[in-house]
Amino acid sequence: MSSYRAPWWLPGRHLQTIYGAVALRRAAPPYRRSRWEAPDGDFIDFDHLDGPADAPLVVLFHGLEGSSQSHYATALMHALAGRGWRGVIPHFRGCSGAPNRLARAYHSGDADEIDRILGQVAAGESVPPFVAGVSLGGNALLKWLGREGANAGARVRAAAAVCPPLDLVAAGAALRRGFNRLYTREFLRTLKPKALAKLERFPELFDRTAMQAARDFDAFDDLYTAPAHGYRGVLDYWTRASSKPDLVRITVPTLILSARNDPFLPAAHLPGPHELSDSIILEQPDTGGHVGFVAGSFPGHLRWLPERLIEFFEASARRAVAGPVSIEPPAMG
Protein backbone atom coordinates (compact mmCIF):
# COMPACT_ATOMS: atom_id res chain seq x y z
CA MET A 1 0.00 0.00 0.00
CA SER A 2 1.09 3.56 -0.63
CA SER A 3 -0.40 6.97 0.01
CA TYR A 4 1.07 8.30 -3.23
CA ARG A 5 -1.23 9.19 -6.10
CA ALA A 6 -0.09 11.40 -8.97
CA PRO A 7 -2.11 14.63 -9.25
CA TRP A 8 -4.95 14.56 -11.77
CA TRP A 9 -3.31 17.31 -13.82
CA LEU A 10 -0.16 15.20 -14.43
CA PRO A 11 -1.30 12.11 -16.33
CA GLY A 12 0.89 9.36 -17.71
CA ARG A 13 4.25 7.83 -16.85
CA HIS A 14 6.32 10.13 -19.02
CA LEU A 15 4.90 13.43 -17.75
CA GLN A 16 5.23 12.09 -14.21
CA THR A 17 8.89 11.28 -14.91
CA ILE A 18 9.90 14.46 -16.73
CA TYR A 19 7.86 17.26 -15.15
CA GLY A 20 9.43 17.27 -11.69
CA ALA A 21 12.97 17.05 -13.05
CA VAL A 22 12.41 19.94 -15.46
CA ALA A 23 9.83 22.24 -13.89
CA LEU A 24 10.33 21.82 -10.14
CA ARG A 25 14.09 22.00 -9.82
CA ARG A 26 15.34 23.97 -6.82
CA ALA A 27 18.72 25.40 -6.06
CA ALA A 28 20.59 23.13 -3.71
CA PRO A 29 21.12 24.15 -0.08
CA PRO A 30 24.68 25.20 0.78
CA TYR A 31 27.03 22.26 0.38
CA ARG A 32 30.54 21.74 1.64
CA ARG A 33 32.65 19.71 -0.78
CA SER A 34 35.34 17.29 0.25
CA ARG A 35 37.49 14.97 -1.84
CA TRP A 36 38.58 11.48 -0.82
CA GLU A 37 41.67 10.11 -2.47
CA ALA A 38 40.79 6.47 -3.13
CA PRO A 39 43.36 3.69 -2.67
CA ASP A 40 43.33 2.90 -6.41
CA GLY A 41 44.68 6.35 -7.31
CA ASP A 42 41.32 7.87 -8.20
CA PHE A 43 39.14 10.21 -6.14
CA ILE A 44 35.54 10.58 -5.01
CA ASP A 45 33.93 13.97 -4.35
CA PHE A 46 31.39 14.34 -1.53
CA ASP A 47 28.92 17.19 -1.10
CA HIS A 48 27.95 17.62 2.55
CA LEU A 49 24.89 19.20 4.11
CA ASP A 50 26.31 20.12 7.50
CA GLY A 51 24.43 20.22 10.78
CA PRO A 52 24.87 19.39 14.46
CA ALA A 53 27.41 16.62 14.96
CA ASP A 54 24.87 14.45 16.78
CA ALA A 55 22.12 14.90 14.17
CA PRO A 56 21.10 11.90 12.03
CA LEU A 57 23.04 11.53 8.80
CA VAL A 58 21.54 10.44 5.46
CA VAL A 59 23.82 9.27 2.64
CA LEU A 60 22.32 9.56 -0.85
CA PHE A 61 23.64 7.62 -3.84
CA HIS A 62 22.49 9.35 -7.02
CA GLY A 63 21.30 7.82 -10.27
CA LEU A 64 22.84 7.50 -13.72
CA GLU A 65 24.55 10.79 -14.63
CA GLY A 66 23.05 12.37 -11.52
CA SER A 67 24.72 14.53 -8.90
CA SER A 68 24.06 16.58 -5.79
CA GLN A 69 22.19 18.99 -8.09
CA SER A 70 19.62 16.42 -9.28
CA HIS A 71 16.02 17.33 -8.49
CA TYR A 72 15.53 14.42 -6.08
CA ALA A 73 18.84 15.21 -4.33
CA THR A 74 18.07 18.88 -3.70
CA ALA A 75 14.52 18.01 -2.57
CA LEU A 76 15.85 15.51 -0.02
CA MET A 77 18.61 17.80 1.22
CA HIS A 78 16.15 20.68 1.75
CA ALA A 79 13.90 18.34 3.73
CA LEU A 80 16.84 17.19 5.87
CA ALA A 81 17.93 20.79 6.47
CA GLY A 82 14.41 21.63 7.64
CA ARG A 83 14.72 18.98 10.33
CA GLY A 84 18.23 19.83 11.38
CA TRP A 85 19.56 16.56 9.95
CA ARG A 86 22.79 16.13 8.03
CA GLY A 87 23.27 14.76 4.55
CA VAL A 88 26.06 13.70 2.24
CA ILE A 89 25.99 12.91 -1.48
CA PRO A 90 28.97 10.92 -2.75
CA HIS A 91 29.46 11.42 -6.48
CA PHE A 92 30.10 8.36 -8.57
CA ARG A 93 33.32 8.75 -10.52
CA GLY A 94 33.05 11.37 -13.23
CA CYS A 95 29.76 12.85 -11.94
CA SER A 96 31.04 15.66 -9.70
CA GLY A 97 32.01 18.00 -12.54
CA ALA A 98 35.59 16.74 -12.74
CA PRO A 99 36.68 13.75 -14.87
CA ASN A 100 38.05 10.86 -12.87
CA ARG A 101 41.58 9.61 -13.42
CA LEU A 102 41.12 5.95 -14.30
CA ALA A 103 39.70 4.10 -17.30
CA ARG A 104 36.83 2.88 -15.13
CA ALA A 105 33.88 5.06 -14.12
CA TYR A 106 30.80 3.63 -12.35
CA HIS A 107 28.09 1.08 -13.04
CA SER A 108 24.78 -0.30 -11.79
CA GLY A 109 26.18 -3.23 -9.84
CA ASP A 110 29.20 -1.66 -8.20
CA ALA A 111 28.82 -3.05 -4.68
CA ASP A 112 32.56 -2.62 -4.14
CA GLU A 113 32.27 1.13 -4.70
CA ILE A 114 29.31 1.35 -2.31
CA ASP A 115 31.42 -0.53 0.25
CA ARG A 116 34.37 1.84 -0.15
CA ILE A 117 32.20 4.93 0.16
CA LEU A 118 30.20 3.72 3.16
CA GLY A 119 33.40 2.66 4.87
CA GLN A 120 34.75 6.17 4.43
CA VAL A 121 31.52 7.80 5.68
CA ALA A 122 30.92 5.44 8.60
CA ALA A 123 34.49 5.84 9.86
CA GLY A 124 33.68 9.35 11.05
CA GLU A 125 30.32 8.52 12.65
CA SER A 126 29.48 7.24 16.12
CA VAL A 127 26.16 5.86 14.82
CA PRO A 128 25.73 4.31 11.37
CA PRO A 129 23.99 6.58 8.84
CA PHE A 130 20.74 6.07 7.01
CA VAL A 131 21.35 5.39 3.32
CA ALA A 132 19.22 5.98 0.23
CA GLY A 133 19.91 5.16 -3.39
CA VAL A 134 18.05 6.43 -6.44
CA SER A 135 17.74 4.47 -9.70
CA LEU A 136 21.26 3.19 -10.55
CA GLY A 137 22.43 4.17 -7.06
CA GLY A 138 19.54 2.22 -5.58
CA ASN A 139 20.40 -0.90 -7.53
CA ALA A 140 24.06 -0.73 -6.51
CA LEU A 141 23.05 -0.16 -2.88
CA LEU A 142 20.76 -3.20 -2.92
CA LYS A 143 23.56 -5.30 -4.45
CA TRP A 144 25.81 -4.29 -1.56
CA LEU A 145 23.13 -4.91 1.09
CA GLY A 146 22.47 -8.39 -0.29
CA ARG A 147 26.15 -9.23 -0.55
CA GLU A 148 26.95 -8.08 2.97
CA GLY A 149 23.90 -9.62 4.65
CA ALA A 150 24.08 -9.25 8.43
CA ASN A 151 27.41 -7.40 8.18
CA ALA A 152 25.72 -4.39 6.56
CA GLY A 153 24.20 -3.34 9.87
CA ALA A 154 27.58 -2.14 11.10
CA ARG A 155 27.53 0.62 8.47
CA VAL A 156 23.82 1.27 7.77
CA ARG A 157 20.92 1.83 10.21
CA ALA A 158 18.26 1.55 7.50
CA ALA A 159 18.22 1.82 3.72
CA ALA A 160 15.87 2.90 0.95
CA ALA A 161 16.03 2.32 -2.80
CA VAL A 162 13.91 4.54 -5.06
CA CYS A 163 13.00 3.21 -8.52
CA PRO A 164 16.00 0.86 -8.73
CA PRO A 165 16.35 -0.99 -12.07
CA LEU A 166 16.31 -4.35 -10.30
CA ASP A 167 16.28 -6.30 -13.57
CA LEU A 168 18.75 -4.62 -15.91
CA VAL A 169 17.96 -6.91 -18.83
CA ALA A 170 14.31 -5.87 -18.68
CA ALA A 171 15.25 -2.22 -18.15
CA GLY A 172 17.62 -2.28 -21.11
CA ALA A 173 14.90 -3.70 -23.32
CA ALA A 174 12.42 -1.07 -22.13
CA LEU A 175 14.81 1.81 -22.81
CA ARG A 176 15.24 0.93 -26.46
CA ARG A 177 11.50 1.02 -27.25
CA GLY A 178 9.18 3.85 -28.27
CA PHE A 179 9.22 7.11 -26.30
CA ASN A 180 11.78 5.62 -23.91
CA ARG A 181 14.43 6.15 -26.56
CA LEU A 182 14.29 9.83 -25.59
CA TYR A 183 15.65 8.95 -22.14
CA THR A 184 18.39 6.83 -23.72
CA ARG A 185 19.45 9.68 -26.00
CA GLU A 186 19.56 12.08 -23.06
CA PHE A 187 21.77 9.76 -21.02
CA LEU A 188 24.08 9.05 -23.95
CA ARG A 189 24.38 12.79 -24.61
CA THR A 190 26.74 12.99 -21.60
CA LEU A 191 27.94 9.41 -21.27
CA LYS A 192 29.45 9.18 -24.76
CA PRO A 193 31.58 12.36 -24.52
CA LYS A 194 32.90 11.22 -21.14
CA ALA A 195 33.83 7.83 -22.57
CA LEU A 196 35.43 9.37 -25.66
CA ALA A 197 37.49 11.67 -23.44
CA LYS A 198 38.84 8.59 -21.65
CA LEU A 199 39.89 7.21 -25.02
CA GLU A 200 42.42 10.05 -25.31
CA ARG A 201 44.20 8.73 -22.23
CA PHE A 202 43.49 5.02 -22.75
CA PRO A 203 43.63 4.42 -26.53
CA GLU A 204 42.89 0.68 -26.33
CA LEU A 205 39.73 1.13 -24.28
CA PHE A 206 37.23 0.67 -27.15
CA ASP A 207 36.68 1.42 -30.83
CA ARG A 208 36.04 5.12 -31.39
CA THR A 209 33.95 4.69 -34.53
CA ALA A 210 31.71 2.12 -32.87
CA MET A 211 31.22 4.38 -29.84
CA GLN A 212 30.32 7.35 -32.01
CA ALA A 213 27.71 5.18 -33.73
CA ALA A 214 26.21 3.84 -30.47
CA ARG A 215 22.52 4.68 -30.17
CA ASP A 216 21.40 2.56 -27.24
CA PHE A 217 22.63 1.10 -23.96
CA ASP A 218 23.18 -2.29 -25.57
CA ALA A 219 25.97 -0.81 -27.68
CA PHE A 220 27.36 1.61 -25.08
CA ASP A 221 27.51 -0.91 -22.27
CA ASP A 222 28.95 -3.60 -24.54
CA LEU A 223 31.69 -1.26 -25.79
CA TYR A 224 32.62 0.47 -22.53
CA THR A 225 30.74 -0.20 -19.29
CA ALA A 226 31.01 -3.99 -19.33
CA PRO A 227 34.69 -4.46 -20.32
CA ALA A 228 35.92 -1.46 -18.31
CA HIS A 229 34.40 -2.91 -15.14
CA GLY A 230 35.26 -6.59 -15.48
CA TYR A 231 32.27 -8.03 -17.33
CA ARG A 232 32.42 -10.17 -20.46
CA GLY A 233 29.85 -8.14 -22.35
CA VAL A 234 26.55 -6.33 -22.02
CA LEU A 235 24.44 -9.40 -21.23
CA ASP A 236 26.92 -10.58 -18.60
CA TYR A 237 26.92 -7.09 -17.08
CA TRP A 238 23.16 -6.66 -17.02
CA THR A 239 22.61 -10.15 -15.63
CA ARG A 240 25.22 -10.09 -12.89
CA ALA A 241 24.67 -6.45 -11.89
CA SER A 242 20.90 -6.80 -11.40
CA SER A 243 19.99 -6.62 -7.72
CA LYS A 244 16.72 -8.57 -7.83
CA PRO A 245 18.34 -11.94 -6.97
CA ASP A 246 20.08 -10.36 -3.96
CA LEU A 247 16.95 -9.09 -2.21
CA VAL A 248 16.38 -12.32 -0.25
CA ARG A 249 19.71 -11.85 1.55
CA ILE A 250 19.13 -8.30 2.85
CA THR A 251 18.93 -8.05 6.66
CA VAL A 252 19.01 -4.26 7.19
CA PRO A 253 15.55 -2.60 7.36
CA THR A 254 15.03 -1.55 3.74
CA LEU A 255 12.32 0.25 1.79
CA ILE A 256 12.05 -0.40 -1.95
CA LEU A 257 9.84 2.26 -3.50
CA SER A 258 8.99 1.75 -7.18
CA ALA A 259 6.09 3.14 -9.20
CA ARG A 260 4.27 0.49 -11.19
CA ASN A 261 4.19 2.85 -14.18
CA ASP A 262 7.95 3.50 -14.11
CA PRO A 263 8.91 3.61 -17.82
CA PHE A 264 12.41 2.32 -17.01
CA LEU A 265 11.21 -0.99 -15.54
CA PRO A 266 7.89 -2.61 -16.55
CA ALA A 267 5.68 -3.59 -13.63
CA ALA A 268 5.85 -7.25 -14.65
CA HIS A 269 9.52 -7.25 -13.62
CA LEU A 270 9.06 -5.69 -10.18
CA PRO A 271 9.63 -8.11 -7.30
CA GLY A 272 6.85 -9.82 -5.43
CA PRO A 273 6.79 -10.66 -1.70
CA HIS A 274 8.26 -14.13 -2.28
CA GLU A 275 11.40 -12.53 -3.75
CA LEU A 276 12.17 -10.45 -0.66
CA SER A 277 13.68 -10.98 2.75
CA ASP A 278 11.63 -10.20 5.84
CA SER A 279 13.66 -7.00 6.30
CA ILE A 280 12.25 -5.35 3.16
CA ILE A 281 9.16 -3.19 2.85
CA LEU A 282 7.95 -3.14 -0.75
CA GLU A 283 5.98 -0.05 -1.79
CA GLN A 284 4.66 0.07 -5.34
CA PRO A 285 2.26 2.95 -6.01
CA ASP A 286 0.42 2.75 -9.32
CA THR A 287 1.72 6.15 -10.41
CA GLY A 288 4.81 8.31 -10.01
CA GLY A 289 6.90 7.54 -13.10
CA HIS A 290 10.64 7.18 -12.72
CA VAL A 291 11.72 9.14 -9.61
CA GLY A 292 8.90 11.62 -10.20
CA PHE A 293 6.38 11.50 -7.33
CA VAL A 294 5.10 15.03 -7.90
CA ALA A 295 2.32 15.92 -5.45
CA GLY A 296 -0.09 18.72 -4.70
CA SER A 297 -2.17 21.15 -6.75
CA PHE A 298 -0.63 22.79 -9.80
CA PRO A 299 2.27 23.54 -10.17
CA GLY A 300 3.01 20.79 -7.64
CA HIS A 301 5.95 20.03 -5.39
CA LEU A 302 8.53 17.30 -4.72
CA ARG A 303 8.08 16.97 -0.96
CA TRP A 304 6.30 13.61 -0.91
CA LEU A 305 9.38 11.48 -1.65
CA PRO A 306 11.71 13.11 0.92
CA GLU A 307 8.97 12.92 3.56
CA ARG A 308 8.41 9.26 2.80
CA LEU A 309 12.10 8.44 3.13
CA ILE A 310 12.51 10.40 6.34
CA GLU A 311 9.40 8.80 7.86
CA PHE A 312 10.76 5.37 7.04
CA PHE A 313 14.15 6.18 8.57
CA GLU A 314 12.55 7.61 11.72
CA ALA A 315 10.28 4.60 12.11
CA SER A 316 13.18 2.22 11.58
CA ALA A 317 15.14 3.97 14.33
CA ARG A 318 12.16 3.74 16.69
CA ARG A 319 11.77 0.06 15.87
CA ALA A 320 15.41 -0.59 16.72
CA VAL A 321 14.89 0.97 20.15
CA ALA A 322 11.36 -0.07 21.04
CA GLY A 323 10.57 -3.16 18.97
CA PRO A 324 8.23 -3.42 15.95
CA VAL A 325 6.21 -0.36 15.01
CA SER A 326 3.93 0.41 12.11
CA ILE A 327 5.71 2.11 9.19
CA GLU A 328 2.92 3.86 7.34
CA PRO A 329 3.38 6.16 4.34
CA PRO A 330 2.75 9.82 5.21
CA ALA A 331 -0.42 11.49 3.98
CA MET A 332 0.09 13.14 0.62
CA GLY A 333 0.01 16.93 0.82
Tell me: do 68 and 142 sit in the same domain. Answer: yes
pLDDT reported for residue 333:
45
Go through 156-176 and write b for each residue having 16 or more CB atoms within 10 A of its CB, e for each that does not.
Answer: bbbbbbbbbbbbbbbbbbbbe
- Using a pLDDT cut of 70, give the percent of the chain over it: 96
Strands 43-49 and 86-90: antiparallel
Q: Catalytic pick from 243, 246, 290, 316?
A: 290
The verdict on whether 135 is a catalytic residue reads: yes
CATH of the domain at 96: 3.40.50.1820
Q: Catalytic pick from 135, 242, 258, 279?
A: 135
Q: What is the CA radius of gyration of the chain?
A: 19
pLDDT reported for residue 327:
46
Mark which of 194, 219, 241 sits at the end of a domain.
Answer: 241
Range of the domain at 234: 168-241
Q: Does residue 273 register a pLDDT over 60? A: yes
Mark which of 200, 223, 241 sits at the end of a domain.
Answer: 241
pLDDT reported for residue 323:
55
Residue 7 in domain: no
Q: Catalytic pick from 2, 107, 262, 269?
A: 262
For residue range 117-167, what is the model confidence (pLDDT) as tens digits?
999 999 889 999 999 999 999 999 999 999 999 999 999 999 999 999 999
The verdict on whether 290 is a catalytic residue reads: yes
pTM (two decimals) = 0.95
Tell me: do 176 and 156 sit in the same domain. Answer: no
The verdict on whether 67 is a catalytic residue reads: no
Mark which of 208, 241, 274 sits at the end of a domain.
Answer: 241
What mean pLDDT comes out for the span 248-276?
96
What mean pLDDT comes out for the span 264-289?
96
Residue 219 in domain: yes
Q: Is 293 left (phi over 0), alpha (psi -120 to 50) or beta?
A: left
- The number of angstroms, rounded, from the C-alpha of 176 to the middle of its chain's C-alpha atoms is 21
For residue range 174-185, what is the model confidence (pLDDT) as tens digits?
999 999 999 999
What mean pLDDT comes out for the span 184-191?
98
Tell me: do 151 and 33 sit in the same domain. Answer: yes
Tell me: do 138 and 177 sit in the same domain. Answer: no
